[in-house]
Amino acid sequence: MTRDELEKRNVGENLDAIMCLDPRGYGVCRILYAGSRAYTGEPTAMHAAEALCKAIHPGDPVYILVGFVLLPHKVPEMDGSVSAILLARSLVLAFGAKPIIVCPQDSVEAFKKCGNVVGLHVYEDLDTAMELPLSLGVVAFTKDKAKAPAQAKALADKILPAAVISVEACGGNAKDMDEAGNHHSQQTIARTKNQTPHVLTHRWELNNENTWTQGGEHQAVERTVRPRRAQCGHRRSGQ
């Protein structure tokens, strides 16, 4: 292992350790981390960063799926929202990318305000967001699982992203609900169908021909990247 490889691995391990801090003692993050680490075979933060470096070019759109809605007040939670908006800013600064927030209607206003705070111009019109510099697009995505596939396809047909990143975007589990027909929040409190705080319920995968294909039903959208560069290097001139 070279010095550069060792430093990269140590930075990744340090970031992963920070992400797994659990001051409230839930224990969930460590359980999830174990599965993620087994999948990547290396520090997950660095694994994701390198994938993004390979996938994103200047001007490329990146979908960020986010917007966990807290009930009964129907307001967006904060940790995922703040993380998503800071990620959007980082993508603009590092790659000159065009981040697009995909969230429930309940979260749109919050992202408009947060975008302005981090120095981005926020537009619901995606053509404008793609055209103007330092811009952030925001799309309100349906909570209706019957309408989700069509809206997901329309988004992919309109703007094919270089990467799709999910940040606190919840969806149905394998059974989608319990035997009584109720959905559940992360606190296992039964909710009615209209209160389900999920965002995208349809999964799309990018095949080798760079076209979107339907990959399943009622699944949370998974992070999908399009590999286009062989190495993750420093920012190129003009970025």
pLDDT tens sequence across 166-218: 998 876 666 655 555 555 554 444 444 433 334 343 344 433 333 333 333 33
Given this model, what pLDDT does residue 69 score?
Answer: 84
Domain count along the chain: 2
Shared domain for 25 and 70, answered yes or no, is no
Identify the bridge partners of residue 214 per DSSP, sorted by sequence position.
Answer: 204
Torsion of CA 49, 37, 215, 143, to 10 degrees: -80
The residue behind tokens 């430093």 is: 7
Shared domain for 4 and 102, answered yes or no, is no
Q: Which tokens go with 168?
A: 């606190």
pLDDT tens digit sequence for 19-28? 999 988 888 8
182-206 exposure pattern, b = at least 16 Cβ within 10 A, e = fewer: ebebeeeeebeeebbbbbbbbbbeb
Whole-Å CA distances, 3 to 9, 22, 53, 82, 216: 10, 31, 21, 34, 43
Q: Any long-range contacts for 36-39 (C-beta under 8 Å, 24+ apart)?
A: none
Shared domain for 61 and 51, answered yes or no, is no
Torsion of CA 34, 39, 41, 44, to 10 degrees: -70
- The answer to the question of residue 67 being in a domain is yes
Shared domain for 163 and 107, answered yes or no, is yes
Shared domain for 25 and 131, answered yes or no, is no
- The answer to the question of residue 221 being in a domain is yes
Given this model, what pLDDT does residue 218 score?
Answer: 32
pLDDT tens digit sequence for 40-88? 999 999 999 999 999 999 999 999 999 888 878 888 888 889 999 999 9
Given this model, what pLDDT does residue 169 score?
Answer: 82
Q: In terms of residue numbers, what domain contains 86?
A: 57-225
Shared domain for 184 and 87, answered yes or no, is yes
**Three-state secondary-structure class, residue 62:** strand
pLDDT tens digit sequence for 107-155? 999 999 999 999 999 999 999 999 999 999 999 999 887 898 999 999 9
Given this model, what pLDDT does residue 140 score?
Answer: 95
Shared domain for 46 and 62, answered yes or no, is no
- What gap in Å lies between CA 76 and CA 174, rounded to an integer? 24
Please identify, among 26, 55, 84, the residue that sits at the C-terminal boundary of a domain: 55
- The answer to the question of residue 93 being in a domain is yes
Q: Is the pLDDT of residue 225 over 80?
A: no
Shared domain for 41 and 119, answered yes or no, is no
pLDDT tens digit sequence for 87-104? 999 999 999 999 999 999
Q: How far is CA 69 from the centre of its chain?
A: 15
- The answer to the question of residue 236 being in a domain is no
- The answer to the question of residue 234 being in a domain is no
